[in-house]
């Protein structure tokens, strides 16, 4: 069993995240999006999306907001490469500017899958915003248009991101102190 009380080391704190969200919102506004539809990729992006949307509001944007739930199958903490739609967007995307929001850009497969899907449905432009980018892990060629922070190549939790649904509530991004004598820590799905 994963213990939610396990120590978590802070990597990006609340203040740094809040400051960065305002900067990202300004950068997004500068692209002058038209008829903007924001699509948050569930589940891990929910907290980032909620904060970024409020920052976008403060910066003067009034987007519509939608959700897509994608699953990239993982064995423990390693991506398998397949992406599946668990819940699709309901809105018409044809002719619209879309901002995809996800938590982490790692192999790139999730974002590429979502971007290709929305472009195939006729979106005018699909931009991508991710809280974290792990460089050196890309399996497909993609750069996010807006990146919160470059993240070391470690498994992170908090601010929406989880291990077996734990730690999502943390207001910061951190590392779980992992004791190798407990190999079941990342054993969940
Ligand atoms: P990609 O398709 O390999 O780019 O994987 C991105 C997805 O994997 C993210 O949306 C996360 O859900 C998940 N992910 C990748 N690294 C981490 C991590 O360190 N912590 C939590 N989730 C992660
Ligand atoms: Mg995800």
- For 107-133, write each residue's pLDDT tens digit: 999 999 999 999 999 999 999 999 999
Say if CB 46 and CB 54 are below 8 A apart: no
CATH of the domain at 100: 3.40.50.2020
Residue 51 forms part of a structural domain: yes
Q: Structural domain tally of the chain? A: 1
Q: Write down the residue that tokens 């990597």 correspond to.
A: 11
Question: pTM value?
Answer: 0.90
- Percentage of the chain exceeding pLDDT 90: 78
Helix (H), strand (E) at residue 18:
helix 14-29
106 Cβ below 6 A of ligand 1: yes
Task: Work out the number of other CB atoms within 10 angstroms of the CB of residue 183.
Answer: 10
Q: What is the mean pLDDT of residues 88-116?
A: 96
For residue 1, what pLDDT is reported?
Answer: 53
Q: How far apart are CA 115 and CA 94, in angstroms?
A: 13
Distance separating alpha carbons of residues 113 and 48, to the nearest angstrom: 20
- The average pLDDT across 18-28 equals 98
pLDDT in the model for residue 189: 32
Does the beta carbon of 186 lie inside 6 Å of ligand 1? no
For residues 161-169, give the mean pLDDT: 95
Spatial contact of 59 and 29, defined as CB atoms under 8 Å apart: yes
Give the range of the structural domain holding residue 86, as residue numbers without chain letter.
14-152
Residue nearest ligand 1's atom 14 by CA: 104
Asked if residue 119 is part of any domain, the answer here is yes
- The predicted pLDDT at position 81 comes to 73
CA atoms within 13 A on the CB side of 147: 14
Q: Percent of the chain, pLDDT > 70?
A: 87
pLDDT of residue 10: 97
| Shortest-distance Cα residue to atom 11 of ligand 1 | 104
Q: Give pLDDT, residue 136.
A: 86
Least confident of 36-50, 156-170, 175-189: 175-189
Q: Is residue 126 part of a domain?
A: yes
Would residue 92 count as lying in a domain? Answer: yes
Residue 65 domain-assigned?
yes
User: Is there a domain that residue 8 lies in?
Assistant: no
Instruction: Report yes or no on 81 lying in a domain.
Output: yes
- Is 186 part of a structural domain of the chain? no
């Amino acid at each position: 069993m994963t213990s939610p009380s396990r120590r978590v080391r802070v990597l990006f704190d609340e203040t740094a995240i809040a400051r960065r969200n305002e900067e990202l919102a300004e950068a997004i506004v500068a692209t002058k999006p038209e008829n903007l539809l924001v699509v948050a990729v569930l589940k891990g992006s929910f907290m980032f999306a909620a904060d970024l949307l409020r920052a976008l509001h403060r910066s003067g944007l009034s987007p519509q907001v939608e959700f897509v739930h994608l699953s990239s199958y993982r064995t423990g903490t390693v991506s398998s490469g397949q992406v599946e739609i668990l819940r699709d967007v309901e809105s018409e995307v044809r002719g619209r500017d879309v901002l995809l929001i996800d938590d982490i850009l790692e192999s790139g497969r999730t974002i590429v899958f979502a971007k290709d899907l929305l472009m195939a449905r006729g979106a005018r432009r699909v931009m991508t915003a991710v809280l974290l980018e792990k460089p050196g892990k890309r399996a497909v060629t993609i750069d996010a248009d807006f990146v919160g922070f470059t993240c070391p190549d470690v498994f992170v939790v908090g601010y929406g991101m989880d291990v077996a649904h734990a730690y999502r509530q943390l207001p910061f991004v951190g590392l779980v102190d992992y004791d190798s004598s407990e190999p079941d820590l990342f054993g969940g799905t």
